[in-house]
Structure 1
Amino acid sequence: MAAADNKTYIGLSFGTSNSVIAIINKENRAEVIANEDGEHKTPSYIAFSGEEEYHGSQAKHQFVRNAQNTILGFRDLLGKAYSNELAAAAGAEGAKVVDQDGTPVFEVTTVSEEGEETTLRLSAHDATVRYLVRLHTTAEEYLGRKIDGAVLAVPVWFTAEQKTSVRAACAAADLPVLQLIAEPAAAALMYDLGADASHDDAKDALALVVDVGGAGADVSLVGVRGGLFTVIGTQHTAEVSGDSLDGVLVKHFAGEFKKQTGIDVLDGKHARSVRKLTEAAEITKRTLSAATTAPCAVESLADGMDFNGTINRTRFDILAGRAYNPLLDAVRDVIANGGYTPAQVSQVVFCGGAARIRKLQSKVALLFPESTEIRDEVGELDEVIAAGCAEQAALIAQGAIEVDAQDAAVPVLAKPIGLQLSAEELVAVLQKDTPLPASRTVKVALPAGEKRAYLAVAEGEPVAPKDEEDEEDEEAEEKKQPLYRPSKLLAEMVLELDAADADTRVEVKFFVGTDRKLTIVATEPKSGKSIQAEVPQN
């Protein structure tokens, strides 16, 4: 486990639909903590029946027959003011959401042993505190020791008010927050992006994190620069989610049930039947990610009639085909809005339970060239973010991270800077979106006998992908298309040398400070000859 000075730290993915707790074990590997039901993920549900309060899976089971007293979706209401639109969306399923002095609150009914009904109102803060207390207790009972701190992941699109509300709820639950990190950054940690970066090789890369959870999907473009992560942009869509894909199966099986019995459970009069079918469809969906065929069975689905059906993966892929389009649009938009092209994305990594669907992954992969690595090999995809938080907690425990600097805004490089090889090609040395200050060094070889090293330093812009017709040209295929072309010449330098031989290398160091001034130093180590140029940056 992540521990320092006998203190124990955990990683926590607090999701809209489910939450996961992870630690770093004695083997220095991420390990997910099982809850009291033996499950790795705990549904983000709270339910009330009589005087009893239920959490997690037990609360989710209550939702089927006691929806009006089941609270869900409370995480995303943190830090928000009441509005009719918010109440309609948040209360569409589960407990009703009402206005209490401008704050949205969930309204449920408890019943005493004497049959006396009491209306209980819980704000998102109240619900979150109760839920986090249960998670906190689960972790301490599993580990057998006190939890001294946690790293929590939050969506990129969370506002400052929402982050403050998360911290306040954790404080009320007696769960010290070491750090709040962005969910895509946690995923990048678990995938070891930039883990082997060094002074000699910064391992600069551009990664796309595709997170498809129960309530929505987030597509984030992450710059990996010298082992540091910068979230360049993110796109959120509620149209593609585990819930929406469950809905595809519900519609299909409801049709099958109607054929068998003549009963239409989607007629608006069978809400409980729909919830029962949705619960079964979720299991079917998970099974299809590993098997080619999966059953769906519901006892007494409607009017005492049982339902038994099956579906194969191919049929599901056909039914869900168009459902993926908003996700694909989000992928295209986040790359274009960041000023990049798909060819510049070196890796696509998946996380979130619904991202395990193979057809979803293959449709995303088709947007990228073969050079882009598609990855999902880190284990259970719905555990990735919690495991990444545990990795971050371990780094904090080791003193490798200054936690006090966690919310500081870091300036980044607006455009790539590198060496101009021709009017149409630039080799980027400092990549766009690199956190500042930053330094990179490249070595340039010279032809034998050469006595002068000419260096042109320029800003660059991405080269648009070739049209399909151009790709068919065999000659074009032989030469790899450059990723960048020069857009602005910044400096020209000439380093006078003795006659170069096969071993001669000119080391060119680029440095950009937080004032955005660029300094270039070119040195030939054997002779010690050197030249320097400075370029003030706007």
Structure 2
Amino acid sequence: MFTPILGVSFGNISSSIAIVKQDKKSTLEVIANQDGERSINSALSYKQGNEYHGGQAIQQLIRNSKNTIINFRDFLQYDKFSAIPAELLKRCEDACPLIDIGADKPGFEYEIDTDLVVKKSVVEVAGNHFKQLKLAADDYTSFDFQKCILTVPEFFISNEIAVSNMKEAAKIANMSIVQFLPETSAGLVSLTDSKISVEHNIGKDGKDKNVVVADFGGYTSTVTVFAVRNNGIMTNLISKTNHHLGGENFDEALMQALAKEFESKHKLTGTLDNIRSKHKLKKAAIITKKTLSNVTNAVIGIDSLSQGMDFHTSLNRMKYELTIMQPTGKMAALVRDTVEEAGLDLLEIDTVVLTGGSSFTPKLNSAISFLFDEDVTSIISLVKGTESQHPDEMISAGAALQAALLHDDETEQLDNLVQHAVDVPHLDKFIGVLNANGDFEPILNKNTPLPTRKIVKLYKQVSDFQLNVYTGAIQIKEREEEVAPKEARDAGELDDDESDWSDSDDEPEIIRYKAYNQEELLFSAPIKSIGAKGVELTFEVSKEGALKVVARDNISKQVLSKIE
């Protein structure tokens, strides 16, 4: 058996579905559709009375583009065609275009058979897409799914029109949406089921950490900074989205480069002005992008690309990375800027999680890794071999895990459980004590949700001591690290333009590191001698921010002191 709530990831480019089996291991499984696709294209196509979905629909783009619907998810934010930005309308101008189907309602007009033209709203198209996803899940499990958790961008959840339209689309597929889950939140939740996640301090290991989840999709890139506290409570510190940055920028840059090379070889122009040629180039660009994410060279062959001319060429990874340098730099900058706007330094980030189709790109991984200190921050990604789930499947996996959690509770309590966010106060400073060396040592970390409680055991404390509790903050410091001198080499080992000594790399390296500074003294109190048993300190902060510390004998639990 399995959890009867389906996890669904709904993207502009692709979607995926997942379940959690109700076996001893609560096995998570991302479901493939009838064509074996786990990353299912969000596309529908119509021809000769047949409806095609997913990869089959994308194959129709070259010869049947006017009846193939793509990139429709973001249109669900609007209830009027006149309100949709022109930039957004361009996303489907080379396929079945979005039009006003009457009364200012956005929708599509397509031919399902000879002389049989149909108009459907964006909501109805999304409903048909959900039907196909549900059918794949139903066929695989032989179960009629009637509930789902749907992951969408965070800005969708705050949009009343989008929420209403998605609920209506789900009804068309005979499903109800139990919860809307932000995509980056789902990506983080997916890691709580992984052995790798424990190694990267994401799992419930009792450690506080700051985690960045970067979701690089087809058209949008979203970066969220989470504070994970108190054995798994996740606080969204900040979330930033670039609505014009994603894998499509990679495709467009590569298409432009390939078209330029083709036209130069054959003395042609206007290749990208022809819709069929453009779709052929797009298909080749996507294949090449995926190939160069795994190997260093790709061969490209396109029959009759334009004016009957074939196109055959090869591309290495280095040239491809130069081609996509601009969007890659913007993605890395989005990560850096989001961390800074969260009020954190890059050295305060424990883990970075890369998800979404574009996170396959090795150049993007290296650009983001370059931002962080590898001794401080772990990068979880497919390229680095540290992923717990395929990046295209992490979002639906997180939705399925959330579905399993909700299913464990009583159905009548779901209304109270499915709030995607709870607004509670948080600590705006570290709270800690001075250790034996007089250095500040944090007990409660900044951004811990309130109320909170933490126990610290001092096993070696056997005499009277003064307990000094302070607020604190992180300070980023720098130190110079001298570079080891080079050894002189024999003249025969040198290149023609080298001398036997070179001081070009002898500049001292600047090392950045974080340190804690004590700030305001909250209280200072003597703790009586407790013999050889050790002491247990319980720190409690109320929702209103009132601090209480209770000192107890570590064995007998006798209260030695209570400070409020």
Please state if 1:243 is matched with 2:248: yes
Q: Does 2:270 match 1:272? A: no
Of the structure 1 ranges 439-448 and 159-168, higher mean CA displacement relative to structure 2 is found in 439-448
Structure 1 partner of 2:402? 392
Which deviations, in whole Å up to 9, do the C-alpha atoms of 1:350-409 show, x marking residues without a partner?
111110111111110111112111112224211111112122222223339964222152
Query: Residues of 2 paired with 1:532 and 1:101: CA distance?
Result: 71
Residue 483 of structure 1 and its aligned partner are, at CA, apart by 4.5
Three-state SS of the structure 1 residue aligned to 2:59 is helix
Map of 2:474 onto structure 1: 462
Question: Closer, same or farther in 2 for the Cα pair 1:89/1:523, shift >3 Å?
Answer: same
Of residues 282, 291, 297 in structure 1, which corresponds to 2:301? 297
Matches within 5 A, 1:438-477: 438-444=452-458, 450-458=463-471, 460-464=472-476, 466-467=477-478, 470-472=479-481
Change over 3 Å in CA distance of 1:345–1:102 after alignment to 2: farther
Deviation at 1:238, TM superposition (A): 3.6
For 1:523, the equivalent position in structure 2 comes to: 552
Correspondences of 1:254-273 after superposition (within 5 Å)? 254-266=259-271, 269-273=273-277
Provide the C-alpha distance between the structure 2 equivalents of 1:312 and 1:104, rounded to a whole number of angstroms: 46
Q: Distance in 1 between matches of 2:474 and 2:104?
A: 46
Letter in structure 2 aligned against 1:411 = V
**Structure 2: runs of 5 or more not aligned:** 382-386, 484-507
* SS across alignment from 1:382: coil
Long gaps (5+) in structure 1: none
Question: Which residue number corresponds to residue 542 of structure 2?
Answer: 513
Given that 1:2 and 1:397 are in contact with CA atoms closer than 8 Å, whether structure 2 keeps it comes out as: no
Letter of the aligned partner of 2:409 in structure 1?
Answer: G
SS in 1 for 2:301: strand
Check 1:435–1:447 CA distance in 2 against 1; reply closer, same or farther (3 A cut).
closer
The letter for the 2-side match of 1:321 is: M
- In structure 2, the CA distance between the partners of 1:188 and 1:179, relative to structure 1 (3 Å rule), is same
**Using the alignment, how far apart are the partners of 1:117 and 1:251 within structure 2?**
37
Cα distance between partner residues in 2 of 1:260 and 1:478: 49
Q: How does 1:80-229 map to 2 (within 5 A)?
A: 80-82=78-80, 84=82, 86-92=84-90, 93=92, 94-99=95-100, 104-110=105-111, 112-113=113-114, 116=115, 118=117, 120-158=118-156, 159-161=158-160, 162-192=162-192, 202-225=206-229, 226-229=231-234
Give 2:287's aligned amino acid: I
Instruction: Tell me the secondary structure at the aligned position of residue 84 of structure 2.
Output: helix
1:417 aligned to 2:430? yes
Residue among 316, 337, 342 paired with 1:312: 316
Shift of 1:111: 5.8
1:211-263 deviations in Å (ceiling 9; x for gaps)? 11122211111121221222221121244311111122212211221122122
SS in 2 for 1:277: helix
Whole-angstrom distance in 2 between the partners of 1:438 and 1:301 = 64
User: Are the counterparts in 2 of residues 265 and 302 from structure 1 also a CA contact under 8 Å?
Assistant: no
Per the TM alignment, residue 187 of structure 1 is displaced from its structure 2 partner at its CA by: 1.3
Rounded Cα–Cα distance in structure 2 between residues aligned with 1:136 and 1:111: 22
The answer to whether the Cα contact below 8 Å between 2:214 and 2:222 also exists between their aligned partners in 1 is yes
Structure-1 separation of matches of 2:551 and 2:104: 61
Q: Aligned pair count?
A: 516
What's 1:493 paired with? Answer: 525
TM-superposed deviation, 1:419: 1.1
> Whole-Å Cα distance in 1 between the matches of residues 515 and 184 of structure 2?
25
- Do the aligned partners of 1:36 and 1:138 also contact (CA within 8 Å) in 2? yes
SS of corresponding position for 1:229: strand
396-405 or 175-184, larger mean C-alpha shift:
396-405
Distance 2:511 2:307 in 1: 67
**Residue 16 of structure 2 contacts residue 39 of structure 2 at CA under 8 Å; is this kept in 1?**
yes
1:95–1:296 distance in 2 versus 1, CA, 3 Å: same
TM-score, normalization by structure 2: 0.83
Tell me the distance in 2 between the aligned counterparts of 1:435 and 1:101: 49
The 3-state SS of whatever aligns with 2:192 is coil
**Separation in 1, partners of 2:268, 2:560:** 84
- 2:417 equivalent among 401, 405, 409: 405
Once the two structures are TM-superposed, the CA of residue 145 in structure 1 deviates from its matched residue by: 1.8
Q: What root-mean-square deviation, in Å, do the aligned CA atoms of Structure 1 and Structure 2 show?
A: 3.1
> Pairwise mapping of residues 335-346 of structure 1 onto structure 2 (< 5 A)?
335-346=339-350
Give the deviation of 1:30 after TM superposition: 2.1
| Cα distance in structure 1, aligned partners of 2:263 and 2:510 | 58
Identify the match of residue 22 of structure 1 among 18, 24, 31: 18
Q: In 2 relative to 1, CA 177–269 (structure 1 residues): closer, same or farther, beyond 3 Å?
A: closer
User: Partners of 1:207 and 1:33 in 2: how far apart?
Assistant: 28
Letter in 2 for 1:413: H
Greater mean deviation of Cα atoms: 40-49 or 383-392: 40-49
Distance 2:340 2:248 in 1: 28
Give the letter aligned to residue 396 of structure 2.
Answer: A
Residues 349 and 103 of structure 1: CA distance in aligned 2, closer, same or farther (over 3 Å): farther
What is the DSSP-based 3-state SS (H/G/I as helix, E as strand, rest coil) of the residue aligned with 2:454? strand
Letter in 2 for 1:122: K
CA distance in 1, matches of 2:63, 2:555: 80
Q: CA separation of 1:348/1:54 partners in 2, compared to 1, >3 Å: closer, same or farther?
A: same
Cα deviation, 1:394-449, whole Å, max 9, x if unaligned, reads: 2223339964222152314141332143899643322233333322222346666x
Q: Greater shift after overlay, 309-318 or 346-355?
A: 309-318
Contact 1:341 1:462 in 2 (8 A): no
Cα 1:157/1:516, change in 2 over 3 Å: farther
The alpha-carbon deviation at position 286 of structure 1 amounts to: 0.8
- Deviation string, structure 1 residues 289-345 (Cα, Å, up to 9, x no partner): 111111222221111111122111122112222221221221112111111111111
**8 Å contact kept, 1:453–1:497:** no
Correspondence 1:430 to 2:444? yes
2:370 counterpart of 1:366:
yes
Structure 1 residue 50 displacement after superposition: 5.2
Superposed displacement of residue 471, structure 1: 4.1
Distance 1:166 1:447 in 2: 59
The aligned residue for residue 282 of structure 1 is 286
Distance 1:513 1:148, change over 3 A: farther
Q: Are positions 1:13 and 2:9 aligned together?
A: yes
Take 2:439 and 2:164, find their aligned partners in 1: how far apart are those partners?
46
Confirm or deny that 1:34 pairs with 2:38. no
Alpha carbons of 1:137 and 1:415: their partners in 2 closer, same or farther (altered >3 Å)? same
Q: Contact 1:206–1:223 (CA<8 Å) still a contact in 2?
A: yes
SS state at 2:60 partner: helix
AA at the equivalent of 2:37: E
> Conserved in 2, the CA contact under 8 Å of 1:15 and 1:75?
yes
Give secondary structure in 1 for the equivalent of 2:110. Answer: strand
Identity %: 28
Deviations along 1:244-286, whole A, 9 cap, x unmatched?
A: 11122212211221122122345x5323211210111101111
